[in-house]
Chain A
C-alpha cells in the first residue's frame, strides 16, 4: 500500500498517462532450452517475467502491478520438466513441478510430510494444478506457504543462466518482499531437499480468516530432530521468511515446564517483525505465531514418535 504523505489542500493529481498505456500487451516467447530462456532474460532484464504456472504472474499483470514487455514461458524447456527425482540422497524438484505433483508424491509424503501439507493449502485444486513450487519461492512473497517447510528442511536452490550454475541455501535466496538473489539472465532450475541424515519430523501450521481457501495470516513450519534440535521457519511475519534454530533440547524435553518452553518460543519468534494489514493486525499475528508454534511443535514431536515406532 502506498503511503500518503502529502498535504491535502491544493494537491493536484493526474490520473492517466502514457506509461500506463498498453495495459496488458507483451511479447511472448517459448524457449526450449535453459540457454535460450537465459538469453531472453538477459536481453530484457526487468522487463521480462517468467511464466511457469502463471497463478501469480497473471494476477499481477491484470492488476497492473507488473507490466512486462516480454513473458517467457518455460513449459517447453524439457530439462525443467523432469518432475521429482532422487539424486545423491536429495529429492530434486524441477522448476516446473506443480503443487499437485508435490503433494501427491509418495516420497514427499514419506520424507517431507510438512511440505505436502503446505502444498495442500496453496489455493484450490485448480491453482495447485498449475502453481509451481519454484514459482512460489521466486515470487518471494513473505506469505508463501511452502517456504517455511522448505526452509526447515534445508532446501537448496539451484540456479542456471548466463553465468555458471550456482546453488544457495534457500535461507539466502530471499533479499526482501518479492526480491531474490537471482541475477539478470538467471533462473531457478530446481530445488533440492536433502533427505534427512538423522530422524527428523516436521509439522506445518497456519492461521487464516476462514476455513476455505485463504492466504495465511501467519504460517510456519517446525522441524524436530531426534537429537533434540528444533528449527522454526516463519512466514507472513517479516519482510523475508525467517529461519531460526534452537539446540538446547528444551523444547523437546517432556519434563520442561510449559512456561519455560513458551519463553523460548517467544525468544525465537522475536526474530520476526509482523505487521498490520488487511489480513490481520500485528499483535494478533504475534499471538498466533506463539499459538501455532506450540501446536506445530507438538505435532512434530508426535510425528517423530510415530516414525520411531
Chain B
C-alpha cells in the first residue's frame, strides 16, 4: 500500500492552517515534525506518561493517541500557545518559581494538564490536583513541588 496524504484544516494555537498529512501519523508527530512545534514531547507513545499532552477541542488529550487527521476542523492548543518567555501565564510563572522544574522534559505536558484542571476547577484541593495530574509522569521531582506550583497558580487566580 502506498501512503496517501489527506488534507486537513486545523487551528493550532489560534492559527488556522490547511496542510496535507499522512493518516497514520499521530497528532504528536504532526505537531513536532510537520509544524515544528517541538514543545510537546515524545516519551512512551502509549498514553501512559502524558508528556505529549495538548488541548484538543477544549479537552486535554495524549496527542500520541490521536491521529493527525482526527484534528481536522478542530482546535489544538499546545504549550507554545500558552504564554511565552516574555509573558508567562500564572501557571508557568508558578512552576518556574517553586522549583518544580528540574530537567523540564515532563513540564510542557504537566502545564497543559494543570491548565486544563484549573480551567474546570479553579480552586482544587490537593487530592483533586493529584487526580488531575495522574496521567503525567515525572521522574525528577517529588511531585510535591508540582502540587505547590499548581496551588500557587490557583491562588494567583489563573
Q: Which A residues are closer than 8 A to B by beta carbons? A: 22, 24-28, 30, 51, 54-55, 58-59, 61-62, 69, 71, 73, 75, 100, 123-127, 129-130, 212-213
Contacts and interface: CB of A to CB of B under 8 A. Distances in A.
A123 B135 contact: yes
Interface string B122-155: 0000000001101110000000000000000000
Contact of A126 (B4, B6, B23, B135): B135
Interface stretch (B9-17, B65-73, B82-90, B95-103): B65-73
A55 B48 contact: no
Contact of A124 (B1, B4, B59, B134): B134
18 contacts: A22-B1, A24-B24, A26-B23, A28-B6, A54-B65, A54-B70, A55-B47, A58-B47, A61-B24, A69-B1, A71-B67, A73-B70, A125-B60, A125-B132, A127-B47, A130-B61, A130-B65, A130-B66
A51 B62 contact: no
Nearest to A71: B23
A237 to B, nearest CB: 23
A24 B67 CA distance: 12
B78 interface: no
Contact of B134 (A55, A61, A75, A125): A125
A126 B53 contact: yes
Interface residues of B, number: 32
Closest 10 CB pairs of A and B: A124-B135, A28-B23, A129-B59, A24-B24, A126-B62, A58-B65, A126-B135, A25-B1, A124-B134, A126-B60
Contact of A28 (B61, B64, B66, B69): B69
Contact of B61 (A27, A62, A71, A126): A126
A210 to B, nearest CB: 11
Interface in B1-43: 1-4, 6, 23-24, 26
Name which of A59, A61, A75, A100 has the most chain B CB atoms within 10 A of its CB.
A59
Contacts of B1: 22, 25-27, 69
Nearest to A128: B135
Nearest to A21: B1
B3 A25 contact: yes
Contacts of B117: 125
Nearest to B112: A126
Contact of A59 (B59, B60, B65, B135): B65
Nearest to A75: B70
Contacts of A24: 24
Given A124-B47, A213-B135, 17 more contacts: A27-B1, A27-B4, A27-B23, A28-B6, A28-B67, A54-B67, A55-B65, A58-B65, A58-B66, A59-B47, A61-B24, A100-B59, A124-B62, A124-B134, A127-B65, A130-B66, A213-B134
A25 B24 contact: yes
Given A62-B46, A125-B60, A212 B66 contact: no
A51 B67 contact: yes
Contacts of A75: 70
B108 interface: no
A83 to B, nearest CB: 15
B105 interface: no
Contacts of A62: 45-46
Contacts of A130: 59, 61-62, 65-66
B48 A213 contact: yes
Contacts of B134: 124-125, 212-213
B92 interface: no
